[in-house]
Copies of this chain bind each other. A is one copy, B any other.
């Protein structure tokens, strides 16, 4: 099947580009002896998780247990879930995963660790736990070395838990390394080993080696890239492997075209970018507005633009949220569709 024959809106993944992006990242990681643990929330596909591991990744990262369950079912055997797991039902699911694969989790507060302590009590098969640190991103994470130490002690003292080290989702900020070093120092001064320091984020991928002390890196979006990554300096639009195929459904005025891909296909993440996506081959087109099933495109600066009924491809602002909006993806090479793949970990937010 040709791309031009695919019904719209549709999610397209360019295999050549995705494979090149994976290889480039692994080559970089190998050159700097920095293990990768890719975050699967960009692709949500077991096949790419396996490809990342085959290339050399030490394991994968999931944000939620539901994603980890999909990946474990597909045969992935080493998963870090970078989320505080709370409540009996989720702890039971975590225990099920712990019984069959190598899984680790994080904690940034005492109640979460108390839950792990209560559920995991086997010193011969302890659950690995990292302390999540806020290194400036302002989301989860302990704020100070003192807080990190309190949690590390709790984990270290629990027979069924094993303190692995520190985890952060960092901002792009030169002070991240110093903040992590301060937390590590406080913990090691107490006699507790900080075996791992895990950092992540695709914008900082190719400078990850510059942060001293990092022992693994968790890039996610790098496999597909998107407009946000390009704006942040990760490659060019020609590296973007994910696009949304859309049909021009209306040309109401000389300046306006309307596409059949709205926020249900492209997501409304605007970030600080001009417009909601890049129309491939028409760089002067601006996606000025999205409603759920329509994209309004300002084509006033375009020399030409496809006619009603013709199709265009759009590189979205944020690839990860887009893969959560489609039940399946079309795997393409060149102008042909190789396969249609169900997005197995779509929607797994629990």
User: Which A positions have Cβ atoms within 8 angstroms of B?
Assistant: 7-10, 41, 63-64, 83-84, 86-87, 89-90, 108-109, 111-112, 115, 134, 138-143, 247, 249-253, 256, 258, 260-261, 263-265, 267-269, 289, 291-294, 296, 307-309, 320-321, 324-327, 347, 349-350
Contacts and interface: CB of A to CB of B under 8 A. Distances in A.
Contact of A263 (B108, B265, B321): B321
Residue among A41, A294, A324, A347 with the highest chain B CB neighbour number at 10 A:
A347
A291 B139 contact: yes
Contact of A258 (B8, B115, B140, B264): B140
B143 A249 contact: no
Given A90-B7, A308-B112, A264 B321 contact: yes
Contacts of A140: 249-250, 252, 258, 294
B251 A109 contact: yes
Nearest to A142: B252
A292 B84 contact: no
What number of copies of this chain does the assembly contain? Answer: 2
Given A109-B251, A142-B252, A324-B325, 20 more contacts: A7-B90, A9-B350, A41-B292, A63-B293, A84-B250, A84-B308, A86-B308, A109-B252, A109-B308, A111-B307, A138-B296, A139-B289, A139-B296, A140-B250, A143-B252, A261-B349, A263-B267, A264-B347, A265-B349, A292-B321
Nearest to A296: B139
A172 B256 CA distance: 21
Given A140-B249, A247-B87, A268 B265 contact: no
Contacts of A86: 247, 249, 308-309
